[in-house]
């Protein structure tokens, strides 16, 4: 049994205004949370039966969860930053062969071993910043063979790192290639989903639902996600990031586990989403990098009592931030959540967005012991020092991994 003692603040993540136990302990047995409480209530019969970690007056909370990433890629797109600062739009950059098409080309050039090693290193960095569970999308393969190749390597990473970080693969239908007609491509993606499901390459399916000639409209997104769901993949959706795209309505209609971005949602569709308990996953790092003046209507989400998650959207073009402590801080600085809410949405909220709320995301007896110990005695110092890595120790399934 593992004992963590002298915890300055134990953050339970039981609700957005979460409970804090001060001067606390936590016991782990067989990789699960066994018990916790105040230090003065701790009773040990035989100390020699316990491995002990002294938190030394530091905070402990559940490991960060990142429910929306495009981590699997090669190449960087710093030139696009200059284009964006010169007021070129997302679609203007895409039409010039930039954006997703550029990353497709750079990723395609790499051999399997190179892609494995490059993305393995990224994941170790993610772990050092306290993320213990991460969703990783494909989507930079575009064509069926490349998409399947990428998902295969993501699953190799999942297996190699299973004792350090939980990886949940998503098959993302991202953009339409320039040399295939829309209807033909949609049928190709349906066939690819069949292979993905048969070979167990992904848990989720996702579609970039947006207005534009390269992305998928409401009808197409509904068709693709409905087919994926019928196959047994869990649907998610990129919704209403750049325009009123009706992705929020598709999320309701299909019954997606989450609708992500939601910068331009419609009130009537949010009300429908609430009926299906669709999680609103918000991505403040992308808002920062795209210099978006419009923000998601967080007060409306709260008023409707929707479940909310804060995730990174880590990708090479519109959010090169993989560090969840920074993303959580941006939830407060950019979107106006208070510090407690931001932490809750970056842990328990993301567990809901991945359908893992019964296993991780909060301090409860019987849940997996995915935990982080901060360098600080007060969780608010993580926000104050948001530019620094706040992590002292990462624990995965009851074992120290970083």
pLDDT-based confidence at residue 42 (cuts at 50, 70, 90) = very high
Cβ-proximal residues to 56 (8 Å cutoff; 6+ apart), any chain = 6
Residue 136 has a CB neighbour count (10 Å cut-off) of 28
Q: Is the pLDDT of residue 187 over 90?
A: yes
Instruction: Give the residue-averaged pLDDT of 230-245.
Output: 97
- Name which of 94-108, 334-348, 374-388 the model is least confident about: 94-108
pTM of the predicted model, to two decimals?
0.97
- pLDDT for res 44: 86
Instruction: Give the residue-averaged pLDDT of 264-278.
Output: 98
**DSSP-based three-state secondary structure for 279:** strand
Asked if 19 and 84 sit in the same domain, the reply is no
Distance CA 285, CA 308 (A): 16
Asked if 256 and 278 sit in the same domain, the reply is yes
Q: Mean pLDDT of all residues in the chain?
A: 97
pLDDT-based confidence at residue 97 (cuts at 50, 70, 90) = confident
Domain that holds residue 294: 64-353
Asked if 166 and 141 sit in the same domain, the reply is yes
Asked if 34 and 83 sit in the same domain, the reply is no
Count Cα atoms within 13 angstroms, Cβ side, for 1. Answer: 18
Asked if 17 and 143 sit in the same domain, the reply is no
- pLDDT for res 47: 75
Asked if 138 and 110 sit in the same domain, the reply is yes
Asked if 333 and 196 sit in the same domain, the reply is yes
Instruction: Give the residue-averaged pLDDT of 47-68.
Output: 95
Q: Is the pLDDT of residue 48 over 90?
A: no
Each residue's pLDDT tens digit, 293-319: 999 999 999 999 999 999 999 999 999
- pLDDT for res 49: 83
Instruction: Give the residue-averaged pLDDT of 270-278.
Output: 98
Instruction: Give the residue-averaged pLDDT of 170-191.
Output: 97
Instruction: Give the residue-averaged pLDDT of 370-389.
Output: 98
Asked if 24 and 102 sit in the same domain, the reply is no
Domain count for the chain, please give it: 2
CATH number of the structural domain spanning residue 315: 3.20.20.140
Distance CA 214, CA 94 (A): 8
Asked if 121 and 8 sit in the same domain, the reply is no
CA distances in angstroms from 99 to 12, 213, 217, listed in the order given:
40, 14, 19
- pLDDT for res 94: 85
CATH number of the structural domain spanning residue 30: 2.30.40.10
- pLDDT for res 45: 78
Each residue's pLDDT tens digit, 14-35: 999 999 999 999 999 999 999 9
Asked if 32 and 130 sit in the same domain, the reply is no
Asked if 346 and 203 sit in the same domain, the reply is yes
pLDDT-based confidence at residue 89 (cuts at 50, 70, 90) = confident
Distance CA 363, CA 27 (A): 11
Asked if 298 and 390 sit in the same domain, the reply is no
- pLDDT for res 81: 87
- pLDDT for res 53: 97
Closest to 165 measured CA to CA, from 56, 322, 48, 15: 322
């Amino acid at each position: 049994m593992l004992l963590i003692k002298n915890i300055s603040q134990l953050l339970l993540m039981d609700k957005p205004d979460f409970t804090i136990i001060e001067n606390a302990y936590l016991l782990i047995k067989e990789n699960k949370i066994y018990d916790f409480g105040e230090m003065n209530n701790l009773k040990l019969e035989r100390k020699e039966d316990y491995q002990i970690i002294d938190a030394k007056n530091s905070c402990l909370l559940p490991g960060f969860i990142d429910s929306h990433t495009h981590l699997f890629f090669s190449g960087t797109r710093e030139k696009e930053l200059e284009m964006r600062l010169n007021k070129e739009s997302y679609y203007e950059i895409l039409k010039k062969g930039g954006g997703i098409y550029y990353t497709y080309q750079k990723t395609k050039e790499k051999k399997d071993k190179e892609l494995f090693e490059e993305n393995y290193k990224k994941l170790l960095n993610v772990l050092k910043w306290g993320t213990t569970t991460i969703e990783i999308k494909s989507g930079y393969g575009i064509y069926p063979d490349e998409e399947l190749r990428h998902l295969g390597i993501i699953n190799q990473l999942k297996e190699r790192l299973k004792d350090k970080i939980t990886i949940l693969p998503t098959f993302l239908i991202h953009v339409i290639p320039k040399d295939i007609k829309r209807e033909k491509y949609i049928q190709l993606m349906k066939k690819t989903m069949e292979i993905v499901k048969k070979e167990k390459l992904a848990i989720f399916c996702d579609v970039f639902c947006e207005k534009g000639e390269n992305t998928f409209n409401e009808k197409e997104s509904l068709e693709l996600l409905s087919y994926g769901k019928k196959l047994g993949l869990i649907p998610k959706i990129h919704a209403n990031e750049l325009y009123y795209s009706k992705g929020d309505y598709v999320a309701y209609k299909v019954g997606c586990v989450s609708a992500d971005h939601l910068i331009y949602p419609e009130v009537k569709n949010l009300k429908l989403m609430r009926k299906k308990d669709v999680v609103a996953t918000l991505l403040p790092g992308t808002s920062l990098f795209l210099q978006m003046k419009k923000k998601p209507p967080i007060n409306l989400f709260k008023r409707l009592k929707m479940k909310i998650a804060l995730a990174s959207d880590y990708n090479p073009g519109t959010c090169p931030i993989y560090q969840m402590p920074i993303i959580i801080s941006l939830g407060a600085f950019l979107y106006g959540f208070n510090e407690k809410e931001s932490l809750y949405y970056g842990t328990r909220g993301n567990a809901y967005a991945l359908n893992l709320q019964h296993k991780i995301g909060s301090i409860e007896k019987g849940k997996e012991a995915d935990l982080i110990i901060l360098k600080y005695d007060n969780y608010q110092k993580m926000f104050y020092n948001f530019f620094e890595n706040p992590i002292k120790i990462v624990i995965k399934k009851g074992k120290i991994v970083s």
